[in-house]
Amino acid sequence: MKVINTIKEMQKLSDTLKAQGKKIACVPTMGYLHQGHLSLITRAKDFAEVVVTTLFVNPTQFGPNEDFERYPRNFERDCQMAESAGCDYLFAPDILEMYPIGFSCNVIIRNVTDKFEGERRPGHFDGVALIVAKLFNAVRPHASIFGQKDFQQTLVIKQMAKDLNFGIDIIIAPTMREPDGLAMSSRNTYLSKQEREDAIILFKALEEAKMAIDGGCRERKVINAIMHKTLRSVPQIKIDYASSALADNLDEPDTFLAGDRIVLLIAAYMGKTRLIDNSLVTIPKGK
């Protein structure tokens, strides 16, 4: 695996690979890789001969009181893990390479960013859209792989890629989980032992809601209430939101219809650590 640090070198390499008829898949990350990231790299091999993993902790998607400075970093570890998963190139620019002095551009996606993460973290998705657009222009891939855990983010990226005519296939891979169901995340390292044990309540809340839906529940507010009730069984948790919505556009009808594809979304604080999780469900017919 080769490490590349500049946009110019990355673009030149991409052009060379394409001239050789090779397909490129890109896996954007902020580093501190875990098994979930590695599954994306492995998945990328199904779509292209060459996999480029990007490693950049993007300051523009962090709010003023968020964890940019303490976000976990370990470059040597990330290199070893990426290579072990089959990554061919690691694109790891520094901040001045991505945001040089005088940089003044922004990318704003509307509608799908109006609620949930977009409402709780103002400006977050502007930063996500901007950095992903810049990474796409640097790597110039044929396809890019993202994890379902950041579900609303996947909708934002799909919209951006479509609206800005990137011509890149956006592929969403399932959320990787620990054996007890907790969604894998770099931020899980912030959790104390007790918080880590309690954190599985997010997964349990999603499962309770899915069981209710399978049993015939169709009312959005009732589904939401089931998730809230389950989450509140852990007194230490602070719920940010626990909501259900149509998966394609995040609309929130009062009642879901048979055949609707919906997403269950949770964001909650476990101590000082903010965790998110989600699950996709199709409303069954005939119940």
Residue 211: predicted pLDDT:
97
Residue in 181, 235, 174, 201 with CA at minimum distance from that of residue 36: 174
Q: Model-level pTM?
A: 0.95
Same domain, yes or no: 223 and 159: no
Q: Which of 132, 150, 173 is the last residue of a domain?
A: 173
Same domain, yes or no: 225 and 168: no
Residue 101 contacts by C-beta under 8 Å, 6 or more apart in sequence? Answer: none
Residue 59: predicted pLDDT:
96
Same domain, yes or no: 71 and 212: no
Same domain, yes or no: 206 and 164: no
Residue 33: predicted pLDDT:
96
Q: Is residue 178 part of a domain?
A: no
Same domain, yes or no: 54 and 153: yes
How many Å apart are CA 54 and CA 19, to the nearest integer? Answer: 22
Residue 65: predicted pLDDT:
84
**β-strand 50-55 against 169-173: which pairing, if any?**
unpaired
Residue in 154, 160, 113 with CA at minimum distance from that of residue 134: 160
Catalytic residues, by residue number, are 37
Token reading at 62: 């962090």
Per-residue pLDDT of the chain (287 residues; tens, 9 = 90+): 999 999 999 999 999 999 999 999 999 999 999 999 999 999 999 999 999 999 999 999 999 889 999 999 999 999 999 999 999 999 999 999 999 999 999 999 999 999 999 999 999 999 999 999 999 999 999 999 999 999 999 999 999 999 999 999 999 999 999 999 999 999 999 999 999 999 999 999 999 999 999 999 999 999 999 999 999 999 999 999 999 999 999 999 999 999 999 999 999 999 999 999 999 999 998 65
How many Å apart are CA 139 and CA 14, to the nearest integer? Answer: 6
